[in-house]
């Protein structure tokens, strides 16, 4: 795997950090890759916003921060607006479709949408939306081995909620596998480049 | 001796540096921690507070950092291995007790997860601007040991080393993390307890009739005395003689302060840990530590890809400073480049050690983030002959 | 053959003569302390004395016990660590009013709040003596000091009231005139579990008494004798000290509440059950 930069963002309570932790754990512990996860602290983390940066690579990761994500996962409108300008051209955008309305895109962005909250609610617990999102991420990006991610989900969740989260993971995964990307075209709206 | 298998969380984990530091402390035998809440260090003792009741030990949250930095020393004299964790503002408040630990030869570990300063500065964002404070922050002459991890794995490994050095030298050891390393999550491999070497406290074998609390056995480090065993010893932060009694004379001062300095300096070659790569044929060598060493490494790789001859030298031990190694580098390099998250601290040490043998270039950063790789790379390119 | 003074084994005679001035009351308090140790038949190996900085801070250096001379104001937190790491120790904090209530005031109230099992002996000479007689938080209003040459005007702390409010389980005040009562109080606190506090009013003839024209050590004893009134159980709000007024002495508070270690244990047992590993004695590996 080439060095892949991922940002996951939303608001507090959506399991943003946990999602990044699960993916990082899957990569580093079960797939022998290198993974570096950092959370956003400081002004970026205010107002209930939550954001995690995850870098995956086959070789040791040196620079600790995401500079231009290859993959951006957004679970809130604010996160989408805020981080979209960072996304690499031709990158992948994953959105919580009920919470985010895409109004601007970079060219060649491959967009995947999932009603993660709704799918979680169908399973009976809104708070497991992060496992749905992790499953969906795994399905659409094909970046990580699904068994590795499932094990990382199991590791990261207390026993009483483990089965439910694994179900949520599978549901998200299946949903992801059934999707094909929408490639962004002419609706690109120029946004100022923000340096990290 | 080996670590306690009941306490060591053997396995492969995905942990941040703060938590890894806590696990390192527990593995090293720390059974007492004191803290006062402060960003970005407090996660270390939060984990300790959660873990230690089922390991067997004590966490106490004190009323301020002054208290935290001395309650732990009481615990050390009570028989525990102990540490405290803080960040800049709290570190400033702890300075007096770093000197007290040096003077009374109390083995303990101070963890400073560095953030931007001065004053309240940038609570949630990184800096490496407490490096000189770690060395010189307390009043008077003393020598200090300070280590700088650059990953969560090293937060685990080097915390154990910090505790071991504290016991070996009966000295406070500064564990100089930074916000990025503290908050960054990576794979951390915690070995089996029997793979972890622990330095036990050097308790005296002498009877209470022939024991001198500050008498030495040739290696300049006195043996420790247990409290409550009838030794009826005295210890003080005043200048003292071998009996531990105050002695207000220039002779006693000379003897004591020189020994406190010498016990560490004499061992410098053995305890200055560093990482060196590609320096033999390098024209320019980048010298860095902590999180900056990783950004510097990236710059080195990009520079080499362009055909530049760049070497790297990473300080793992910041104090005592590796004078000899730096001098050796300065003898053949065309320049030494020192990026750090401050406006020029360790670069002064590099200049001192290089002693004019080659130019030393500072690449400062005021903190709040890390260098852009390009900033370091262009500094390297600029000094290329 | 001369008979050995019974307190002599409790002193480091190899360190004598001591540094205190003629007429100073600190020596009297040590005599009482030593006698209390003897009378209470406590295992002397298990007693540790922790002092801060100042004239009274030097007590640790003269008692033949495990003794710690710490930093200014920090005797209590040092003693806290010592006690928590080694609960079998009987830890005595022996220090002065400035050390304990000014620079160490925050630790004083928090240790009382936590009810750490420490015995605090506060030698109150109403001034900073070691540094030349400056005003302390205990200096009575209108007293002259090196830093209040025209008389103090800051209201002082009433220490018994302060530590009672903070949670101490035993509080007494005596003067160096009341050697029998002081000795008894010191014996009593060895039997208490929790934060115990004895304030001992003690003369500093060299600085405080001289500046305030109160005579020498003997005159101060007469002053203590005349002005003291024993009122056991007096409300601590009524025992504040003034420059020349009555000195209320006695045992003001003697109550029980669980100490820090018991509370900690109870909480962990409730929360963790069998998973709690009690730390009886921290043995250092």
| pLDDT tens by residue, B34-63 | 999 999 999 999 999 999 999 999 999 999
Asked if B26 and B10 touch (Cβ cutoff 8 Å), the reply is no
Is domain B275-383 in CATH 3.40.50.300, yes or no?
no
pLDDT digits (tens, 9 = 90+) for C64-80: 999 999 999 999 999 99
Looking at CA atoms only, how far is residue C53 from chain B in angstroms?
A: 10
Indicate if the pLDDT at residue C258 is higher than 50: yes
Looking at CA atoms only, how far is residue A146 from chain B in angstroms?
A: 18
- CA angle at B310 for the pair B306 and B315, rounded to the nearest 5°: 140
What local confidence, expressed as pLDDT, does residue C281 receive?
A: 57
d(CA B214, CA A51): 53
What local confidence, expressed as pLDDT, does residue A107 receive?
A: 80
Range A36-40 average pLDDT: 92
φ, ψ of residue A98 in degrees (nearest 5): -80, -15
Looking at CA atoms only, how far is residue C184 from chain B in angstroms?
A: 24
Indicate if the pLDDT at residue A192 is higher than 80: no
A38/B183 touch (CB, cutoff 8 Å), yes or no: yes
B125/A63 touch (CB, cutoff 8 Å), yes or no: no
d(CA B177, CA B128): 8
Residue in B73, B234, B239, B240 to test binding to C, most C beta-carbons within 10 Å: B234
State the chains in contact with A (3 or more Cβ–Cβ pairs under 8 Å).
B
d(CA C60, CA C51): 6
Residue B161: other Cβ atoms inside 10 A: 23
| Strands (DSSP E) found in chain B | 11-16, 30-35, 58-61, 81-86, 108-116, 122-126, 145-147, 172-178, 184-190, 234-236, 274-277, 284-288, 310-315, 317-319, 335-340, 360-364
d(CA A121, CA C136): 66
- CA angle at B134 for the pair B133 and B135, rounded to the nearest 5°: 90
The 3-state DSSP class for residue B382 equals helix
Task: Find where tokens 């921060």 sit.
Answer: A65
A39 has which bridge partners? A52
Q: Answer yes or no: is C3 within a domain.
A: no
Indicate if the pLDDT at residue C282 is higher than 80: no
With contacts defined as CB-CB under 8 Å, which chain B residues touch C262? Answer: none
Q: How many Cα atoms occupy the beta-carbon half-sphere of A39 within 13 Å?
A: 23
CA B158 to centroid of chain Cα atoms: 9
The 3-state DSSP class for residue C285 equals coil
B294/A41 touch (CB, cutoff 8 Å), yes or no: no
C74/B66 touch (CB, cutoff 8 Å), yes or no: yes
What local confidence, expressed as pLDDT, does residue C279 receive?
A: 76
Cβ-based interface (< 8 Å): residues of A facing B: 21, 24-25, 28-29, 34-39, 41-42, 45, 61-65
Confidence of residue A188 (pLDDT cuts 50, 70, 90): very low
Q: Do chains C and B touch (3 or more CB pairs under 8 A)?
A: yes
Range B84-89 average pLDDT: 98
User: What does C116-162 look like in DSSP terms, one character per residue?
Assistant: -S-EEEEEE-SSBTTTTSB--TTSPTT--BTTBTT---SPPP-HHHH
Domain encompassing residue A59: 4-180
With contacts defined as CB-CB under 8 Å, which chain B residues touch A45? Answer: 124
Which one of B125, B185, B370 has the shortest CB-CB distance to A21? B185
* Of C106, C91, C96, nearest in space to C52 by CA: C96
| CATH code at position A130 | 3.40.920.10
Distance (Å) of CA B307 to CA B50, B295, B300, B301, B336: 51, 19, 10, 10, 18
pLDDT digits (tens, 9 = 90+) for B102-133: 999 999 999 999 999 999 999 999 999 999 99
Residue in A23, A27, A46, A64 to test binding to B, most B beta-carbons within 10 Å: A64
Looking at CA atoms only, how far is residue B353 from chain A in angstroms?
A: 28
Which one of B123, B187, B295 has the shortest CB-CB distance to A28? B187
Using N-to-C axis directions, what is the helix angle for A16-25 and A129-141, rounded to 10°?
A: 50
Q: Answer yes or no: is C285 within a domain.
A: no
* Of C257, C283, C279, C277, nearest in space to C84 by CA: C279
d(CA C153, CA C158): 15
The 3-state DSSP class for residue B70 equals helix
Contact B10/A at CB under 8 A: no
**Paired tokens of A139:** 């399905």
Asked if A3 and A16 touch (Cβ cutoff 8 Å), the reply is no
B78/C81 touch (CB, cutoff 8 Å), yes or no: yes
In C, minimum Cα distance to B83 occurs at C81
Higher model confidence: residue C198 or residue B216? Answer: C198
d(CA C207, CA C123): 15
pLDDT digits (tens, 9 = 90+) for C13-47: 999 999 999 999 999 999 999 999 999 999 999 99
B297/A62 touch (CB, cutoff 8 Å), yes or no: yes
- CA dihedral sign of residues A168, A169, A170, A176: positive
B54/C88 touch (CB, cutoff 8 Å), yes or no: no
With contacts defined as CB-CB under 8 Å, which chain B residues touch A42? Answer: 122-125
**Among the listed ranges A123-137, A182-196, B56-70, which one has the minimum average pLDDT value?**
A182-196
Contact B74/C at CB under 8 A: yes
With contacts defined as CB-CB under 8 Å, which chain B residues touch C264? Answer: 58
Which one of A21, A25, A38 has the shortest CB-CB distance to B184? A38
Looking at CA atoms only, how far is residue A71 from chain B in angstroms?
A: 19
Q: Do chains A and C touch (3 or more CB pairs under 8 A)?
A: no
Domain encompassing residue C181: 15-275
Higher model confidence: residue C283 or residue B220? Answer: B220
Range B170-191 average pLDDT: 98
When divided into structural domains, chain C yields a total of 1
Look up the ipTM and state it: 0.97
Q: Answer yes or no: is A191 within a domain.
A: no
d(CA A132, CA A111): 17
d(CA B176, CA B179): 10
State the chains in contact with C (3 or more Cβ–Cβ pairs under 8 Å).
B
Asked if A18 and A133 touch (Cβ cutoff 8 Å), the reply is no
B13 has which bridge partners? B188
Indicate if the pLDDT at residue B313 is higher than 80: yes
What local confidence, expressed as pLDDT, does residue A47 receive?
A: 60
Indicate if the pLDDT at residue C2 is higher than 70: no
φ, ψ of residue C17 in degrees (nearest 5): -75, 155
B75/C85 touch (CB, cutoff 8 Å), yes or no: yes
Work out how many CB contacts closer than 8 A connect A with B.
Answer: 61
In B, minimum Cα distance to A60 occurs at B294
C71/B96 touch (CB, cutoff 8 Å), yes or no: yes
Residue B374: other Cβ atoms inside 10 A: 12
Q: Answer yes or no: is A186 within a domain.
A: no
Which one of C268, C277, C282 has the shortest CB-CB distance to B78? C282
With contacts defined as CB-CB under 8 Å, which chain C residues touch B163? Answer: none
What local confidence, expressed as pLDDT, does residue A106 receive?
A: 82
Residue in B28, B139, B232 to test binding to C, most C beta-carbons within 10 Å: B232
Looking at CA atoms only, how far is residue B203 from chain C in angstroms?
A: 10
d(CA A15, CA B306): 42
**Paired tokens of C18:** 């001591």
pLDDT digits (tens, 9 = 90+) for B134-156: 999 999 999 999 999 999 999 99
What local confidence, expressed as pLDDT, does residue A115 receive?
A: 96
Work out how many CB contacts closer than 8 A connect B with C.
Answer: 167
When divided into structural domains, chain A yields a total of 1
Q: Answer yes or no: is A187 within a domain.
A: no
Task: Find where tokens 């696990």 sit.
Answer: B23
What local confidence, expressed as pLDDT, does residue B219 receive?
A: 84
Contact B147/A at CB under 8 A: no
Break chain C down into helix, strand, coil percent, rounded to 5.
40, 20, 40
With contacts defined as CB-CB under 8 Å, which chain C residues touch B231? Answer: 66
What is the share, in percent, of chain B residues with pLDDT greater than 90?
A: 98
**Paired tokens of C132:** 């030349």
Asked if C237 and C161 touch (Cβ cutoff 8 Å), the reply is yes
Looking at CA atoms only, how far is residue C142 from chain B in angstroms?
A: 32
Residue in B13, B14, B115, B314 to test binding to A, most A beta-carbons within 10 Å: B14
What DSSP designation does B202 have?
A: -
Is domain B11-195 in CATH 3.40.50.2000, yes or no?
no
Looking at CA atoms only, how far is residue B350 from chain C in angstroms?
A: 35
C284/B228 touch (CB, cutoff 8 Å), yes or no: no
User: What does C55-114 look like in DSSP terms, one character per residue?
Assistant: TGGGHHHHBSSEEEE--TT-HHHHHHHHHHH-TTSEEEEEEEHHIIIIITHHHHHHHHHH
| CATH code at position C76 | 3.40.50.970
Confidence of residue A122 (pLDDT cuts 50, 70, 90): very high
Query: Dihedral angle at the C-alpha atoms of B314, B318, B322, B323, nearest 10 degrees?
Result: 120
B197 has which bridge partners? B2
Asked if B17 and B151 touch (Cβ cutoff 8 Å), the reply is yes
Break chain B down into helix, strand, coil percent, rounded to 5.
40, 25, 35
């Amino acid at each position: 795997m080439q060095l892949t930069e991922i940002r996951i963002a939303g608001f507090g309570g959506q399991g943003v950090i946990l999602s990044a932790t699960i993916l990082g754990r899957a990569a580093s512990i079960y797939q022998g890759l290198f993974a570096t996860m950092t959370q956003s602290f400081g002004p970026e983390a205010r107002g209930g916003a939550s954001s995690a940066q995850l870098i995956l690579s086959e070789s040791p990761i040196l620079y600790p921060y995401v500079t231009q994500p290859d993959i951006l996962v957004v679970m809130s409108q604010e996160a989408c607006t805020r981080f979209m300008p960072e996304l690499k051209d031709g990158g992948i955008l994953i959105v919580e479709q009920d919470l985010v309305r895409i109004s601007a895109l970079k060219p060649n962005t491959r967009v995947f949408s999932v009603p993660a909250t709704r799918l979680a609610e169908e399973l009976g617990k809104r708070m497991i939306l992060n496992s749905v999102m992790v499953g969906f991420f795994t399905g659409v990006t094909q970046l990580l081995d699904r068994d590795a991610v499932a094990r990382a989900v199991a590791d990261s969740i207390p026993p009483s909620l483990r089965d439910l989260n694994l179900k949520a993971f599978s549901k998200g995964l299946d949903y992801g596998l059934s999707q094909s990307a929408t490639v962004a075209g002419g609706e690109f709206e120029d946004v100022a480049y923000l340096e990290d | 001796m080996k670590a306690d298998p009941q306490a060591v969380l053997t396995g492969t984990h995905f942990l941040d540096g703060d938590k890894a530091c806590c696990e390192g402390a527990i593995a090293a035998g720390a059974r007492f921690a004191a803290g006062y809440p402060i960003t970005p260090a407090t996660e270390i003792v939060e984990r300790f507070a959660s873990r230690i009741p089922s390991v067997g030990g004590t966490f106490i949250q004190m009323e301020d950092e002054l208290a935290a930095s001395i309650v732990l020393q009481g615990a050390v004299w009570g028989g525990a291995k102990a540490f405290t964790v803080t960040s800049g503002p709290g570190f400033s408040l702890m300075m007096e007790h770093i000197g007290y630990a040096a003077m009374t030869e109390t083995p303990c570990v101070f963890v400073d997860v560095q953030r931007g300063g001065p004053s309240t500065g940038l609570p949630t964002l990184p800096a490496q601007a407490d490096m000189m404070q770690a060395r010189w922050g307390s009043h008077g002459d003393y020598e200090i040991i300070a280590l700088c991890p650059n990953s969560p794995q090293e937060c685990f490994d080097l915390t154990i080393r910090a505790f071991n050095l504290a016991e070996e030298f009966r000295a406070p050891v500064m564990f100089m993390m930074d916000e990025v390393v503290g908050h960054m999550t990576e794979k951390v491999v915690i070995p089996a307890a029997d793979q972890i070497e622990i330095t036990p406290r050097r308790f005296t074998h002498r009877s209470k009739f022939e024991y001198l609390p500050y008498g030495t056995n040739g290696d300049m480090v006195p043996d420790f005395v247990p409290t409550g065993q009838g030794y009826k010893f005295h210890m003080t932060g005043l200048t003292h003689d071998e009996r531990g009694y105050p002695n207000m004379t220039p002779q006693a001062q000379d003897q004591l302060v020189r020994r406190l300095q010498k016990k560490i300096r004499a061992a410098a070659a053995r305890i200055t840990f560093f990482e060196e790569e590609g320096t033999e044929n390098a024209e320019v060598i980048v010298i860095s530590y902590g999180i900056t060493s990783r950004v510097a490494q990236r710059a080195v790789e990009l520079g080499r890809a362009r055909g530049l001859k760049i070497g790297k030298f990473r300080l793992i031990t910041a104090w005592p400073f590796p004078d000899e190694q730096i001098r050796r580098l300065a003898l053949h390099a065309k320049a030494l480049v020192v990026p750090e998250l401050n406006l020029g601290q360790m670069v002064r040490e590099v200049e001192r050690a290089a002693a004019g043998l080659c130019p030393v270039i500072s690449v400062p950063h005021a903190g709040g983030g890390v260098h852009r790789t390009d900033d370091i790379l262009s500094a390297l390119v600029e000094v290329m002959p | 053959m001369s008979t050995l003074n019974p307190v002599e084994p409790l002193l480091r005679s190899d360190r004598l003569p001591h540094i205190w001035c003629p007429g100073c009351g600190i020596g009297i308090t040590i005599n009482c302390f030593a006698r209390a140790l003897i009378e209470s038949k406590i295992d002397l190996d298990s007693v540790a004395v922790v002092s801060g900085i100042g004239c009274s801070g030097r007590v640790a250096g003269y008692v033949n016990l495990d003794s710690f001379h710490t930093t200014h104001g920090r005797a209590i937190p040092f003693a806290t660590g010592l006690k928590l790491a080694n609960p079998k120790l009987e830890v005595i904090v022996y220090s002065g009013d400035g050390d304990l209530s000014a620079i160490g005031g925050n630790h004083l109230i928090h240790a009382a709040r936590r009810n750490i099992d420490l015995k605090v002996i506060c030698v109150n000479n109403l001034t900073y003596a070691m540094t030349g007689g400056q005003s302390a938080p205990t200096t009575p209003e209108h007293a002259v000091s090196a830093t209040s040459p025209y008389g103090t005007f800051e209201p002082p702390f009433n220490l018994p009231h302060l530590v009672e409010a903070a949670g101490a389980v035993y509080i007494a005040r005596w003067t160096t005139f009341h050697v029998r009562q002081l000795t008894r109080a010191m014996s009593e606190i060895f039997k208490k579990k929790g934060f115990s506090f004895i304030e001992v009013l003690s003369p500093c003839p060299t600085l405080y008494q001289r500046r305030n024209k109160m005579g020498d050590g003997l005159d101060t004893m007469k002053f203590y004798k005349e002005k003291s009134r024993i009122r056991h159980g007096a409300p601590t709000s009524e025992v504040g000290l003034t420059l020349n007024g009555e000195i209320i002495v006695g045992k003001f508070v003697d109550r029980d509440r669980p100490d820090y270690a018991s509370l900690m244990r109870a909480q962990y047992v409730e929360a963790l059950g069998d998973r709690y590993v009690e730390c009886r004695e921290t043995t250092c590996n």
